Structure 1
């Protein structure tokens, strides 16, 4: 992977806060003039924790003097898939087949398979026949021009779509020096928009999209870490039992 797992989780937590995720419930005005979003906050010892989701696992800590004020924001509408409603017949792969496909593409391009899975979830929710009103197609919602550039003949073929989408995302990560938030913004709105605004474009759909993918990726990373710890503890316990 391009970044160590621990660094990825930290980077994504900050990125999710800065792009104003749709699941946030509080706006936080910082003393330095910047603002961010969080789900809720709490005082823990001498610090204030800003929690990025309803649970307690993902948070950022600030000193009280670094925070100017909090503002409650109204509940957002349910998140929508990228590029508005999807059209076409709903056709889904077996989860194991999809995971295997994403793992192979991730290995080929040195991308985390969970990042690719998060993009697929946001783009098509796993529907291989998804078509957006803008004309994007398949699992990773490739526009015809992008598909042609990546050598994809049939965007409705899951293997071709994932191969093309992964290669395109890899190109964007190279272009933006592994800045995941910028690469995702370019995937959604196009590199021209990111270059024009020198960052994530001020489009509601794009900002919500970036936050949604990052939030899902962060959730998957944390779940993976928890499962690894659980497996490690079980192995250690079994080893101790045999030693006795």
Structure 2
């Protein structure tokens, strides 16, 4: 089956890594990053991307940034002549799929050709501690899962990064799906910290920019942004999200908004 094929590839990559193949280092890292054929292991993935990037492998450098992890722990099959651990087959259980959010219903309606994007978004969101459903809701509104989407404002790719945002989060190719999602997720993580977990302010700022949200003490009166936030709320029902307060100082408008509510 597919799992066996991935595992056989992993075994060959391990052997090639021991012989110094940079491409094999990158490919083995990808298998560990996404749990294909071998058990998912972010530490092994990061170490393989690190080694390959030091040899000048550009894709490995991008993935090292994307996995958001630092490790020098190499897989045993790279340091000794052994086979990699095999990913066990999934347990056979009857599952009842429940849709908790409207976004689940939308994702279920997508063609199978888009499933890899959902998987990629789930993985990268998890690496950065962001709810994948939030990210997938943004992708739905921004590009409807079209990797080559481009707007009249030069916003690019799945999460429609404008050049300034792409540069801000070190995205070199905004039409590369993993780079684009990583940049969009990093921006969402920053906004969630800046607005201390407010989903409404975060989504408004993702569309209009945080400066516009701060200027208007909330959702700007732009028809596009107001419609954007409405569409988002129809897909994603949560109003707050956990955040890392160490990423940035809070927006100065939070105190003002709190005072206005009193």
Is the 1:136–1:143 Cα contact (8 Å) retained in structure 2? yes
| Whole-angstrom distance in 1 between the partners of 2:213 and 2:112 | 32
TM-score by length of 1: 0.51
Question: Which among 129, 150, 164 is matched to residue 148 of structure 2?
Answer: 129
What's the counterpart of residue 237 of structure 1? none
| Whole-angstrom distance in 1 between the partners of 2:192 and 2:112 | 27
What's the counterpart of residue 93 of structure 2? none
What's the counterpart of residue 73 of structure 2? none
Question: Which among 127, 148, 152 is matched to residue 171 of structure 2?
Answer: 152
Give the Å deviation of 1:93. 8.6
Structure of higher RCO (CA pairs closer than 8 Å, 6+ residues apart): 1
Regions of 4+ moved over 3 Å? none
Q: Are 2:213 and 1:194 equivalent residues in the alignment?
A: yes
Q: Deviation digits for residues 84-142 of structure 1, max 9, x if unmatched?
A: xxxxxxxx993221111111121122111111111001001111111110110000000
What's the counterpart of residue 205 of structure 1? 224
Is the 1:93–1:128 Cα contact (8 Å) retained in structure 2? no
Aligned positions of 1:132-143 closer than 5 A: 132-143=151-162
Question: Which among 163, 178, 187 is matched to residue 168 of structure 1?
Answer: 187
What's the counterpart of residue 96 of structure 1? 115
| Whole-angstrom distance in 2 between the partners of 1:124 and 1:132 | 9
Gap change, CA 1:213 and 1:94, over 3 Å in 2: same
Q: Are 2:202 and 1:180 equivalent residues in the alignment?
A: no
How many aligned residue pairs are there? 130
Query: More strand per residue: 1 or 2?
Result: 1
3-state DSSP of counterpart to 1:146: helix
| Whole-angstrom distance in 2 between the partners of 1:191 and 1:105 | 23
What's the counterpart of residue 215 of structure 1? 234
Structure 1: state its 5+ residue gaps. Answer: 1-56, 59-91, 220-244
Query: More helix per residue: 1 or 2?
Result: 2
Is the 1:93–1:126 Cα contact (8 Å) retained in structure 2? no
| Whole-angstrom distance in 2 between the partners of 1:116 and 1:174 | 15
Larger Cα-atom Rg = 2
| Whole-angstrom distance in 1 between the partners of 2:227 and 2:183 | 24
